[in-house]
Amino acid sequence: MEVDDYISSYPGEIQEILQEVRRRIHEAVPGAGEKTSYRIPTFTLDGKYFVYMAAWKKHLSVYPVPAGMEQELAPYLAAKGTLRFMFDKPIPYELIAEVAKRLAGNRR
């Protein structure tokens, strides 16, 4: 399954959120690649993953959680290594981009 296939399998409003998250990750991490791994979109740098995203019934999850951002991310921590963004609340795209940037920086 390709990332486009994954995104297109969701209703329109969720597709828009996923596309915007995808766009923000690519903007924050120029040169990032993408593929599916574990059946969810995975963003890579130099062939190694740095962040995953997955849509669920009521929320978007982003994995893993970067060290050093615990305070900023506290409202979104769902489980160890998981951020949860509810679809019925504004999605903090800039924060997700910062998470991706931080995680990608850890891979370099």
DSSP three-state, residue 21: helix
pLDDT score at 70: 83
Rounded to two decimals, the pTM is 0.92
Q: Return the percentage of the chain with pLDDT > 90, whole number.
A: 82
Confidence of residue 105 (pLDDT cuts 50, 70, 90): confident
Q: Residues 6 or more apart from 35 whose CB is under 8 A from it?
A: 3, 42, 44
DSSP three-state, residue 92: coil
Closest to 43 (Cα-Cα) out of 62, 16, 69, 17: 62
Mean pLDDT, the chain, as a whole number?
93
Tell which CATH classification among 3.40.30.10, 3.40.50.300, 3.30.70.360, 3.90.1150.200 matches the domain 3-107.
3.90.1150.200
pLDDT score at 10: 96
Angle of helix 93-107 relative to helix 12-28, nearest 10 degrees, comes to 40
pLDDT score at 11: 95
